[in-house]
């Protein structure tokens, strides 16, 4: 029962997103190409800092908030959004008869991802497959636990939000 292998995920479950702190060590080959082809440099002003510091923002660690949540809530699955983005990481926890519906309007994409997309001419599909786009972790849990879970995560300092839901399907992610 303690293993979060996704086998308990079912239609009607909700997806909670946890905000990332930036690239989280993924997508740097593409980010480097974008930077090299742009007029910007690592020391270019960006978001109250420099572009280089924004690109190298340390990876957010979620373990404390997740462990606290596990003490109080039933979690059906966890997906760490690394290389492959939501497109490739979320399906890894889904049963073959369910798909994830991700609402693209449910979070504000951090400016660094907007900059990379704009300066690199990267389409939305590639962005969602390469980068976390601002979502570093996804939690799947029963719908009736969602509000309490979000409150718990926020009390632990996380920016948590409803990302989407689980529906009967084919093990893939649907972006809406």
| 1: confidence class by pLDDT, cuts 50, 70, 90 | low
Instruction: Say what the pTM is.
Output: 0.94
When pLDDT is averaged across residues 59-77 and rounded to a whole number, the result is 94
Q: Where are the domains of the chain?
A: 14-26+58-175
pLDDT single digits (tens) 123-152:
999 999 999 999 999 999 999 999 999 999
Other C-beta atoms lying within 10 Å of the C-beta of residue 58: 9
pLDDT single digits (tens) 82-137:
989 999 999 999 999 999 999 999 999 999 999 999 999 999 999 999 999 999 99
Q: How many CA atoms lie within 13 A of 95 on its CB side?
A: 16
Find out whether 123 and 133 touch, Cβ atoms under 8 Å: no
Q: Residue 5: its pLDDT value, please?
A: 83
Bridge partners for 49 per DSSP: 46
Task: Let me know if domain 14-26+58-175 sits in CATH 3.90.650.10.
Answer: yes
Both tokens assigned to 4: 């979060």
C-alpha distances in Å from residue 7, one per residue of 74, 94, 118, 160 = 13, 8, 39, 23
């Amino acid at each position: 029962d303690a293993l979060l292998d996704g086998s308990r995920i079912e239609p009607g479950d909700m997806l909670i997103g946890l905000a990332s702190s930036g690239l989280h060590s993924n997508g740097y080959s593409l980010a480097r190409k974008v930077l090299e082809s742009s007029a910007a440099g690592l020391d270019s002003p960006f978001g109250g800092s420099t572009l280089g510091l924004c690109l190298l923002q340390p990876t957010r660690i979620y373990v404390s908030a997740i462990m606290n949540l596990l003490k109080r809530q039933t979690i059906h699955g966890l997906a760490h959004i690394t290389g492959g983005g939501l497109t490739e990481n979320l399906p890894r926890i889904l049963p073959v008869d369910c798909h994830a519906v991700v609402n693209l309007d449910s979070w504000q994409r951090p400016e660094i991802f907007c900059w990379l997309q704009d300066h690199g001419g990267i389409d939305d599909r590639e962005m969602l497959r390469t980068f976390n786009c601002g979502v570093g972790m996804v939690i799947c849990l029963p719908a009736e636990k969602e509000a309490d879970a979000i409150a718990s995560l926020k009390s632990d300092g996380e920016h948590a939000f409803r990302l989407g839901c689980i529906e009967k399907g084919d093990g893939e992610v649907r972006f809406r």
